[in-house]
Each structure stands twice: as C-alpha cells, then as structure tokens.
Amino acid sequence: MKKQNTSLFITQPSLAPLDEFVNILSPAYSSGILTHNGPLVQKLENELCKKLGIKNLVSVVNGTIALQMPLKALQLKGEIITTPFSWIATCSSILWERCRPVFVDVDPKTFNLDPSKIEDAITFRTEGIMPVHVFSNPCDTDAIDVLSKKYGLKVIYDAAHAMFTNYKGKSLLEYGDVSATSFHATKLFNTGEGGACITTNIELHEQLKRIRFFGHNENKEVVEDGFNGKMTEIHAALGLANLEIMDRVLYRRKEIFELYYDKLSDLDFITFQLIDKSSYNFSYMPLVFSSEEHLHNVEKELNKHNIFPRRYFYPSLNTLKVVSQYSLMPNSERLAQRILCLPSYTKLSDENIDHICSLIKNCFNSK
C-alpha cells in the first residue's frame, strides 16, 4: 500500500483564514488593549452565547482553570466523585483545589460515569460530582441530578469536549451547577489555548468573573480569593475568526465520522461508542478493539504509513500513582487499553479516510 507523503495526526486545529484573524486583531494592536476583559473578549463571550443559545459564559485561559474555578467558587473541600476515563486535567484540577478525587467506574458502552455506581461511593465527606461528557456524549444528567439533590452535592461537568452539543432541547453546557469547557487547539472550537465556565446561576456567574480577575469586584476591590484566569484579546480574536467557520467545521466532522463508520462498522473486532447522533458533535473518531493486541497491530501498521492515531484516554486515571491509591475500575481500565482515536479534522480528505480504513482492514486480513 502506498505510503502517505505528509503525516496524518489525530487532529489539526480548525483555523479561519489568517487575514480574517489579523483583521479582527488589528484594533487591539492599535489601541494596545491586549487583556483585562477587553472588547474582543466581551464580543467573543456574547457571540458564543448567541451561537450556543446560552445566557452566560465566562471565558478563561484554559479548560483546566475552567474546572478549578467552580471548585473554588463553590468552596468544595472534601471528596469529589469523578471518572477514571478522562484526561488527567479532570483529576488534577480536583487535586489542585485540595480536594480528593474518588473514582467511580464508567459504563463501557457510553464511556461515561455509570450513575448506578455513584451512590455506593458517597460518604459523609463527599461534596461534589465531576462527570465528563466523553467525546461529547451526554452523561445521564437526570440520574446525576437526582443523586446530587438527594445528597446535597454540587455537580461540575467537565464539558471540555461538549461544545455545540444539544441535549434534551438545550446546550449540554447548561447542565449541572457549572460546566467547564476547553478551547484548546485540539478541540472542536479553538482559541489556541482557552476555555470557559458556563452556569445559569447569575450570582455564581458573577463570582466566577471575580475569581478570574484576582478576586476584584467592579470597583477594583479584592473581595474574593481569586487568581489570574483572564483570556487575552489575541486569543479572543482567534476565537472570533474561528467562530465564523464553525458551521463548516461541524458539517465536515460529521461527514468524516459517517465515512469512517460506513467503512469500519462491519468489522467484528471493532466496536463504537454508544451515541445518539442528535446529541453528539463528532469531534472524535474513537474505535474500541476487541483486544489490546489488535490495537497494537493497527497502531503499528498506521504508524508505518505516517498515520498517527492516538490512544485517548490512556491510561485509565485510577492506575496513575501520582493521583490516587489504586482502586480497581475494570470497565475504564479495559476501555483505556483498547481505545484508539483516528485522525479527524476538517482538512482530512475522503481519500485519506479510505486509505486509513483500507490499512485497518488489511491489517486483519493478513493475520
């Protein structure tokens, strides 16, 4: 099979034409206003609210800070129930706010925290739940809501993957006490680095704005234990430019997902995440192999052809000594060992997808 000339990585940022970014940025260059909740940051927040159909959004420097800020705002100090099948930032944000992550296993079909296992993990020290909408697949928000009310727990959704996903008639970002999302370069919508906190509680929204700005209120008095979480005008300009191409990005991501699915769904050794296509943004293309050996074979074969999928999420966070004492999470561990995300980004061509799928198929035909 022919070798790929240029490498294909798991993703490439979706970027607006450079001159559009420069046009949007140039007033900031002239005025010298580069940060401090400037006009571009305010415009980006307004435009995002409009496009997402949400009321409030506090932009910040990255998605990890967006997870830490609500933990601080809600003064959570004890145990936070969370998922081991996530990126390390879910867990490290909890640790950095001096709380203790308590893992609960995932549903192997949806990849999300299994709500039927949460109750057993609740103790008198539990103060919150931090579930993740994995690859934008909505968590069982109803079940989590019932538990949070029953035990008086706060819910902070790690919605890093969940931009432009609607669930039960509204944005997935409007569930829980707060949702934290990421605008990292690898995400569906990007500002290079960036993120946001979303809450429908206006007092909490105002508090998050103060925390982002060293704890200052509008009169520049320090009234809160805050830090510097502000997004710059440069990042906001990139966001405003990228927002213009969002409809095309969403359309192409879905097309790519469908193409892969059509070519790979009849293979016995691969399964897919259980999703409802109307509540999914198609920003990732995860495959689950029937064994880790199958995954290794495919990864090796693709790498030989300059194609670099990514084991994501891997490893299962409960196996990392730096974050907690080991506790067995069989579903998450088995999933993390067998999952591989294929390249998915707007510039990926149909031919690229054909090539990747043929390599995967051949890999098994030749065994």
Instruction: Give residues in contact with ligand PLP (CB under 6 A).
Output: 62-64, 86-87, 89-90, 132, 158, 160, 182, 184, 195
Contact 138, 17 (CB under 8 A): no
Minimum CB separation of residue 181 from ligand PLP in Å reads: 8
Residue nearer to ligand PLP on the CB measure, 132 or 340: 132
Contact 207, 229 (CB under 8 A): no
What DSSP line would sit under 101-127, residue for residue? Answer: EEE-PBPTTT-SB-GGGHHHH--TTEE
In a 10 Å sphere around its CB, with 0-12 CB exposed, 13-18 middle and 19+ buried, how is residue 363 labelled? middle
| Of 109, 101, 70, 102, residue with least CA distance to 205 | 70
Residue nearer to ligand PLP on the CB measure, 63 or 108: 63
Minimum CB separation of residue 18 from ligand PLP in Å reads: 23
Cβ neighbors of 18 (< 8 A, separation 6 or more) are: none
Minimum CB separation of residue 313 from ligand PLP in Å reads: 8
Minimum CB separation of residue 252 from ligand PLP in Å reads: 21
Minimum CB separation of residue 265 from ligand PLP in Å reads: 25
For residue 268, what are its two tokens?
């016995």
Q: Which residue is nearest to ligand PLP (CB)?
A: 63
Residue nearer to ligand PLP on the CB measure, 108 or 360: 108
Place of tokens 């640790």: 95
**CA dist., res. 14 & res. 273, Å (int):** 24
SS3 for 8? strand
For residue 116, what are its two tokens?
């039927």
Minimum CB separation of residue 251 from ligand PLP in Å reads: 23
Residue nearer to ligand PLP on the CB measure, 15 or 259: 15
Residue nearer to ligand PLP on the CB measure, 11 or 182: 182
**CA dist., res. 292 & res. 286, Å (int):** 14
